Structure 1
Amino acid sequence: MEPLRVENITVAYHKKPVLIEVSFAVPEGKLISIIGPNGAGKSTLIKSILGLVPKASGHVEIYGKPYSKQRKLIGYVPQRGEVDWDFPTNALDVVLMGRYGHVGWIKRPSKKDIAYAEECLEKVGMSAYAGRQIRQLSGGQQQRVFLARALAQDATVYFMDEPFAGVDAATEKAIISILNELKNQGKTVLVVHHDLQTVTEYFDWTLLLNKRLLEAGPTQEVFTVENLQKTYGSRLAFLEKGTASINQS
């Protein structure tokens, strides 16, 4: 059974379509990129799947059941720009938020939950910053903390919105290492991604999106010059030996 099936999702903001009849299913245990130009609806697609923005039509199934019944199977890493970094909390407390789906919002986290959160911080190389206020962390460190929070959710299907944006090379290497570890555990990870140069290196499957879903399938099959031109149009700045760059201006 597929970990995720999306049927005919349409989303409109102020009556202007952002996503139009998007349908796809993804295989289990894969790293999956969602790529497309700015304004293509990539973040909106994730948010509509998670019920964070209203859908005009369509529905979502996680392992054959409605998303509302499968929330505990889901982990989510939002864009850094959507997080209130001035909120007075430290790195460990942020990661512990990932345990609330298991312990509930009323109960206090147990010693076992705290130990698990600390283990997740260690996995992302942030143990030394457990007591540091999140606003005092660098952008890459903040991203690692939110990745640790997703790990603490102990999910089966993960959604990550541009986790590599604005991070240094060491953090990017650490993130992809963790994503591969999740994949090796049989978990499914969908990532909004903008760097076309690393798509074939990082991802098994790829969704090409520009308001409509243009292609979906194994990266080696769908990540072609023809499909990229169809997706990006004139924004595709150059093509060389199967690689591409995007003019975002």
Structure 2
Amino acid sequence: MEPIKVENVTVAYHTKPVLQDINFSVPAGKLIGIIGPNGAGKSTLIKAILGLIPRASGEVAVYGKPYKEQRKLIGYVPQRGSVDWDFPTNALDVVLMGRYGHIGWLRRPSKADKELALACLKKVGMEQYATRQISQLSGGQQQRVFLARALAQDASVYFMDEPFVGVDAATEKAIIALLNELKTQGKTVLVVHHDLQTVEEYFDWVMLLNMKTIAIGPTEEVFTTENLQKTYGGRLAFLHTAPPGGQ
């Protein structure tokens, strides 16, 4: 059964459509890039799937059931710019927030929860910053903490909105290694991504989006110059100097 199935999803702001009649499903155990120009609706699509913004129409199923019944199976890493980093909390507490879907908001995290959270921080190279206030961390370190929080959720499907933006090369390398590890565990990971040069290296599958689904499928089949021109139009020449797939 597909981890994610989206049917006829439309999103509008003040009656103006931002996403129109989006239909797709994705297989399990794939690393999927969501690619498109600025304003194409990439972040909006993730938020609509997760119920963070209202849909004008359409349905979302997670392993064949409505999203609301399957929230525990979903992990989400938002854009770093959308987070209030001045909130007075440390890195370990941020990661422990990923456990609340399992333990409930009214129960205190157990010793096992804290040990798991520390293990997740260690996996992203941040265990020595467990007691550091998140406002005191660099952009790359903050992103690693949010990845650790997603890991602590122990989800089956992960949505990540521009996780590589504003991070150093070492953090980007660490993130992609982590995403590949999740994939080998059978997890499904959908990533909003803007760097066309790394798409073929990073992703098994690609969704090309510009208000509508232009194409979706295995990277070697979908990530072609023809599909990119349909997605980006005349802006493609500025974005992509080496045509994919030898075309």
Matched, 1:24 2:24: yes
CA distance in 2, matches of 1:93, 1:231: 40
CA distance in 2, matches of 1:62, 1:137: 34
CA distance in 2, matches of 1:139, 1:222: 32
Q: Is the 8 A contact 2:223 2:244 kept in 1?
A: no
Aligned residue for 1:122?
122
TM norm structure 1? 0.96
Aligned residue for 1:209?
209
Aligned residue for 1:154?
154
CA RMSD of superposed structures (Å)? 1.0
CA distance in 1, matches of 2:114, 2:152: 10
| CA-CA distance at 1:146 after TM superposition | 0.2
* Aligned positions of 1:143-182 closer than 5 A: 143-182=143-182
Aligned residue for 2:107?
107
Q: How many residues align?
A: 244
Aligned residue for 1:87?
87
SS at match of 2:237: strand
1:152 partner letter:
A
Aligned residue for 1:221?
221
1:2-37 deviations in Å (ceiling 9; x for gaps): 000000100001111100000000010000000000
1:193-235 deviations in Å (ceiling 9; x for gaps): 0000000000000000000001000011000000001100111
SS at match of 1:60: strand
Matched, 1:232 2:219: no
CA distance in 2, matches of 1:73, 1:51: 14
Q: Is the 8 A contact 1:196 1:243 kept in 2?
A: no
CA distance in 2, matches of 1:63, 1:103: 22
SS at match of 2:45: helix
Aligned residue for 2:142?
142
| CA-CA distance at 1:242 after TM superposition | 2.4
SS at match of 1:9: strand
CA distance in 1, matches of 2:80, 2:134: 12
CA distance in 2, matches of 1:191, 1:240: 22
Aligned residue for 1:247?
none
1:242 partner letter:
P
The gaps in structure 1 that reach 5 residues or longer are 245-249
CA distance in 1, matches of 2:233, 2:132: 45
CA distance in 1, matches of 2:203, 2:244: 14
